Structure 1
Amino acid sequence: MLDVAKRYPGGVTAVDGLTLRVPEGMVFGFLGPNGAGKTTTMRMLVGLVRPTSGRIRVLGQPPGTPGELARVGALIESPAFYPHLSGVDNLKLAARYAGVADSAADQVLAEVGLTGRARSPFRTYSLGMKQRLGVAAALLKQPSLLILDEPTNGLDPAGVSEIRELLRSLGQHGRTVLLSSHVLGEVEQVCDRIAVINRGRLIADGTSDELRAALGGGELLIAADPIDKAAACLREHRGVRAVQAADGRLRVDAEPSLAAELNRTLVEAGIDVRELRTVRHSLEEAFLELTGTDEPDPVPTTTTGSSR
């Protein structure tokens, strides 16, 4: 997508000049605060919402066209199924609409771990089971591109782990996955690359290591005696940006590559160093630093979620 914008009546801008390129065969994370424009972007990618301006191509096709939809599977917001039908019957119905064999339903149920509840009515499913069925529906066509909006919403830790392994497997077999999630640990473990948007604009794009590196790579955690003398000594070092005492240790804002030099400086000053280790910035810290603390403007909901 190139310079894409989506503006709603009333002056609300959900997406503002967004340019996003997702490489093929990659699990691509899509992050942003609530209201940042993630779901609106995903809706535009499958033709549920039309952009106000800009150009979108998905697998070389315009969004929402038969050529695009035949190769794309999507779970956007909450999955919608017939409550009185079983999980497998819902999937068989979806398979017929998609033009694939009924047998695909059993295959994807096994992939998402729902075989044991395949014949239970959808209305009896937990929230986590409904999410898994939504992922299964998105997989029916064995798509080249899988678009998943919060696929682990409502899952217990075991379910999150299962979906995480499924996503890893999908990425390893050449399928492209676009994954939106609020679980930053999940994104960090699964995604090859991450884009961060805020207020509808792209503000960062890179690997998780590259995003963390934007904060300076990390800190040094030092336990030394006497601590006051150690803090004063470190503050005089040209490579130390800041020193803060916390829980009997010193958090030192300095490049991890200075660890040996700082250790030597403290020892030469007669200070006993009991611990010195690097504390890497987390993806969560990078995300909060990139997006800031202001809450984005709310985005109106104009369409219902769907599994396609």
Structure 2
Amino acid sequence: METILSIHQLTKFYGKNKAVDQVSFKIEKGHVYGILGPNGSGKSTTLGMILNVVNPSSGSFSWFNGNLNTHDALKKIGAIIEHPNFYPNMSAIENLELVTKIKCLTHPNYQEKLELVGLWDRKNDAFKTYSLGMKQRLAIASALLNNPEILILDEPTNGLDPQGIHQIRAIIQKIAAQGTTILLASHLLDEVEKICSHVIILRNGKMIYDGSVDAMNASHGYFEVAAENSEKLEAFANQNEAFETVIKLPNNLYKLILNKPMEADTLNEMAFKNDLVLSHLVKRKESLEESFLNLTKNEAQHA
């Protein structure tokens, strides 16, 4: 597997404030990576450093297995790390032609890129007439003009309405399906879960998770249960080593978090053998949001 980007203990101070704290991870070719974290977690600063916009305080990074310096690597990278910034009175085509001249690109396929982002029929309209979502889509088309090996996006759906968010996500999935590696920063769990195969989670500048989205969410799940005798049910659950945690919910429900695999019929049989009749029994999978909250909670406890 080709390594597109390798980051080693990258750190950035702004005065005494450590915005990014010894972050290390790798981006492998052909995957969609999300850098996930709340605002102020260091996502944009990390992207700024690898794109030579922000100078690192310490640490290092290398592009394309270390075979290219950053200046040459940038020719193989497409990136949007700020709000779309085009000339308002120029059309989409005219703005893309200007980008082509500035970047010294040869033979860009404007039609292909504008069709990909759904703007070919608006190619001759002035940029100022575009909605925010259309402006963002034109920015993506612009970032694709050099047929990059990796596309980097900072909060690509920020400020968009639900329709605009859906359109951007669909475009990112199309680009990924064509084999382009993608790295996007987002504070939206839903965005990462729907688009990304891998996730890097930052909190207060520190990396607290680096792995696949599936692995992050690979808990054994939990049961939601209820019985007429709630006290007996709670005692039964607390004495059973299969349950990592027992949480009392409203309406006499209990959440039994599993620490090993178990099916609902097995639990029902075990309860029956302990003279417990379950009036409610549902097995659920932990959501990405719950996994994220558990990760950040554990990190806060160890801080």
TM-score with structure 2 setting the length: 0.86
Residue matched to 1:58:
63
Distance 2:104 2:279 in 1: 66
Tell me the distance in 1 between the aligned counterparts of 2:193 and 2:51. 25
Match of 2:254 among 241, 250, 254: 250
SS of 1:30's equivalent in the other structure is strand
Is 1:221 equivalent to 2:227 in the alignment?
A: no
Look up the SS of the partner of 2:249 in the other structure.
Answer: strand
Report if aligned partners of 2:113, 2:144 keep a CA contact under 8 Å in 1.
yes
Match of 2:199 in 1: 194
**Is the 1:112–1:166 Cα contact (8 Å) retained in structure 2?**
yes
Letter in 1 for 2:18: T
| Equivalent of 1:239 in 238, 242, 245 | 242
* Residue pair 2:222, 2:286 contacting (<8 A) in 1 also: yes
Cα contact 2:208–2:299 (8 A) shared by 1: no
Structure with the higher strand share, 1 or 2: 2
What aligned pairs does 1:25-104 form with structure 2 within 5 A after superposition? 25-59=30-64, 60=66, 61-63=68-70, 65=71, 67-101=72-106, 104=109
Residue pairs, 1:142-291, within 5 angstroms: 142-213=147-218, 216-240=219-243, 241-255=245-259, 257-259=261-263, 260-291=265-296
User: Structure 1: which 5+ residue stretches go unaligned?
Assistant: 296-308
SS at match of 1:40: helix
The verdict on how the C-alpha distance between 1:272 and 1:116 changes in structure 2, with shifts beyond 3 A counting, is: farther
Q: Which residue of 1 aligns with 2:4?
A: none
Alpha-carbon contact 1:96-1:102 (below 8 Å) kept: no
Q: Answer whether contact 1:29 1:191 (CA < 8 A) is retained.
A: yes
For 1:108 and 1:269, how far apart are their aligned partners in 2?
65
For 2:55, what is the secondary structure of its paired residue? coil
CA contact (8 A) 1:131 1:153 kept: no
Q: Distance in 2 between matches of 1:275 and 1:121?
A: 60
Please give the secondary structure, in 2, of the residue aligned with 1:206.
strand
Greater Cα shift, 147-156 or 247-256? 247-256
Note the alpha carbon deviations across 1:249-272, whole angstroms, 9 max, x for none.
321122362344321122234443
Aligned residues: 290
Q: CA deviation at 1:40?
A: 1.0
Q: Which amino acid aligns with 2:249?
A: A
Give the C-alpha shift of residue 283 in structure 1.
1.6
After superposition, give the CA deviation of every residue in 1:153-211 in whole Å (9 maximum; x if it has no partner). 23333333333233223223322111111221221122121111122222111112222
Q: TM-score, normalised by structure 1?
A: 0.84
State the secondary structure of the residue aligned to 2:28.
coil
Does structure 1 retain, via aligned residues, the 8 Å contact 2:157–2:165? yes
User: How many angstroms does 1:226 deviate by?
Assistant: 4.3
**How far, CA to CA, are the matches of 2:127 and 2:87 in structure 1?**
7
Mean alpha-carbon deviation: is it higher for 161-170 or for 50-59? 161-170
Structure 2 Cα separation of the partners of residues 26 and 238 of structure 1: 38
Q: Distance in 1 between matches of 2:239 and 2:152?
A: 51
Are 2:111 and 2:120, in contact at CA under 8 Å, matched by a contact in 1? yes
CA RMSD of aligned residues (A): 2.4
Q: Is the 8 Å Cα contact of residues 145 and 178 (structure 1) preserved in structure 2?
A: yes
- Secondary structure in structure 2 of the residue aligned to 1:18: strand
Alignment deviations for residues 15-35 of structure 1 (CA, whole Å, 9 cap, x no partner): 221212111111111112211
SS in 1 for 2:40: coil
Give the ranges of 4+ consecutive aligned residues of structure 1 lying more than 6 Å apart after TM superposition.
Answer: none
Q: Which has the higher contact order (CA 8 A, sep 6+)?
A: 1
Matched, 1:141 2:146: yes
Q: Cα distance, 1:293 vs. partner?
A: 10
**What code does the residue aligned with 1:191 have?**
C
